[in-house]
Structure 1
């Protein structure tokens, strides 16, 4: 079942359950996926759909950080709830140890020796972990590995 089909099915279920918050988030996700489909001019592959979800998740995560800085408790709770809903549609995220293992293998694979090779390593890693890992975590682990 495609992501769009799943979102439509869940949207109907949220309507029946009168869950306005979940319905609102699902509608936003469905709109984002549909807009991407129109922009690209074809049905989205799983990777493309996951990229849209990752972008939506990242936006909400950044908003949450801003709301926490501003001390907006009302918006913090809402954003956490939205993050939880978006996370249910995302592929399983890799743990930090799994990401570290991929970083270690990729550094050896591209024969990186210093921070000069940072771009080469990141370029090789990101396609492997796309949608499954936060880019910030990958970035930090690569820097840590290359500074040794």
Structure 2
């Protein structure tokens, strides 16, 4: 079953179960997907939908940090709930050990030895890790490996 169909089915089941918060989050996702389809005049495949979800998750992570800094735990909790709903549509996340292994292999394959060559390593890893790891954490691991 395609991711788009799964999201649509989940929206219907959230409506039937009267889960208003979950329904609102799924509708936000559907709207973001539709917007991307209209903007680019394409039908989104699963990889493109994962990219949309990644963007939404990043926005929510940033919002949670800002709300917590401002002392608005109620809003931070709402954003965290939306993140949990969106994470259900992401591919299986890689473990820290798997990410470290892929980073080490990419550094070796690219021949990178300094921070200036970090782009080469990211270029190799991004297609492999898209949707399966937080790229900010991957970036930090690459920096640590190149610095050490």
TM-score range, shorter chain: over 0.9
- Given the two structures, how large is their TM-score scaled by the length of structure 2? 0.95
1:33 matched residue in structure 2: 33
1:71 matched residue in structure 2: 71
1:120 matched residue in structure 2: 120
Structure 2's unaligned 5+ residue stretches are: none
1:59-98 per-residue CA deviation (whole Å, 9 max, x = no partner) reads 1111111111111021121111111111111111112211
1:22-77 per-residue CA deviation (whole Å, 9 max, x = no partner) reads 01000000111111122222211221111001111111111111111111021121
Please show how residues 29-108 of structure 1 align to structure 2 within 5 Å: 29-108=29-108
Per the TM alignment, residue 112 of structure 1 is displaced from its structure 2 partner at its CA by: 1.1
Q: What CA RMSD, in Å, does the superposition of the two structures yield over aligned residues?
A: 1.1
Structure 1 CA distance for aligned equivalents of residues 113 and 23 of structure 2:
49
Moved over 6 A (4+): none
- Given the two structures, how large is their TM-score scaled by the length of structure 1? 0.95
